[in-house]
Each structure stands twice: as C-alpha cells, then as structure tokens.
Amino acid sequence: MTVSRTAPGGGTKIGKVARKEAADGVADHNPLQIGELSELLGYVLKRAQLKVFEDFLRCMASLQLTPAQFSVLILIEKNPGRNQTEIANTLGILRPNFVSMLDGLESRDLCARIRSTNDRRSHILALTDKGRSVLARAKKLVAAKHEARLNELLGPDGRIALLDMLAKIAREF
C-alpha cells in the first residue's frame, strides 16, 4: 500500500482495518451511501436548490440570465431611486460580487449606475429600456417553463406549503 505524498504516513493515524479495507477495495459501481445526510435539512435544501437553479438556467438559456441577475433586475425595477448598497444588502450579495455583476449587466446595456444628486458617493440603479424588455421576457419564461414544471412536480398545494415553510426559515431561523 502506498500512502500518497499529500498524506505522509507518519502524521496520520488510521486504524489498521480501515486502512486495509480502503486500500484493497475492489472497483465498486454501486452508488455511495450518504448515511445521515439524507435526514439533514441543510444538505437536502442545498441539493434541491442546485437542481432548481440548474433548471432556471436551462429555461433562461435564450436570455442568458442567472438567478442572481434576474433577482437584481427585479429589485431595480421595483425600487426606483434606491442605491446599489441597498439592493446588494437586500439580496445578501457581497459588494465585490455585486460590483462585478453590475459591470456585466451594464456591458449588456440592461441597467445603468447613476450618481445620486443627494449623495454623490452613492450610485442609484436604473433599468435601461432594453433591461425592462429583457426582464419582461424573462418573467414570462420563468412562469411558463420553470415555475410551471415545479407546480406540476409538487402540485399547487404542495408548492404553497413548501414556499411557506421556506419563507418561515428565511425569516425566523
């Protein structure tokens, strides 16, 4: 048995049985056991969230919008006159990530940063005409493809129950 260079044998204490079991293991094509992870809410939440985001990206392929970009455009639309920091904080996006996301949206002419006349250090965000039209198409795609498929999977009542529980966690946990 060879210990890899990243795990010099001297430094690690692995039981002899486990070590032999591990190194002799013949090729095994069965799916792995995830043990107590299947009951761990955080794990299952993350797996579900990744699946939902993947589907969102597929549905939005023609418009090339990520879930985060879609959320930013909606917040800009719904909150005229509010600044960059407020939008980022509301969505829980870190400043450096938010700045680079806005760079991307601006370079595609979907939104603009406008220096505030009241506080010249602060930037107010506004949709461009193109941003407004892309957002309107995006909302239709989300409703017709993405949310419709989720509705089908969970049933309308299931979907509402799920939204309620998740909102409760987001608000109160």
What residues between 11 and 50 interact with a second copy by CB under 8 A? 11-15, 18-19, 21-28, 31-50
Q: Which helix (H) or strand (E) holds 114?
A: strand 111-115
**What are the structure tokens assigned to 142, written together?**
């989300």
Residues touching a second copy, count (CB under 8 A): 102
Binding positions for a second copy, 86-105, rule CB under 8 A: 86-87, 90, 92, 102-103
Site string for a second copy, 117-146 (x = CB under 8 A): xxxx--xxxxxxxx--------x--x---x
Selected from 109, 136, 144, 148, the binder of a second copy by CB under 8 A is 109
To the nearest whole angstrom, how small is the minimum distance from the Cβ of residue 68 to a second copy? 9
Cβ proximity of 85 and 92 under 8 Å: no
For residue 116, what is the DSSP state? -
To the nearest whole angstrom, how small is the minimum distance from the Cβ of residue 170 to a second copy? 4
Q: Which of 84, 110, 108 is nearest to 96 (CA)?
A: 84
d(C-alpha 22, C-alpha 55), whole Å: 37
- Please report, as a single letter, which amino acid is at residue 78: K
Selected from 63, 101, 113, 145, the binder of a second copy by CB under 8 A is 113
Q: What's the chain's Rg over C-alpha atoms?
A: 23
Which lies closer to a second copy via its Cβ, residue 63 or residue 147?
A: 147
Residue 154 lies near a second copy (rule: CB under 8 A): yes
Which lies closer to a second copy via its Cβ, residue 6 or residue 62?
A: 6
Q: Which of 26, 22, 15 is nearest to 1 (CA)?
A: 22
Site string for a second copy, 51-80 (x = CB under 8 A): xxx-xx----------x---x--xx-xxxx
d(C-alpha 65, C-alpha 70), whole Å: 6
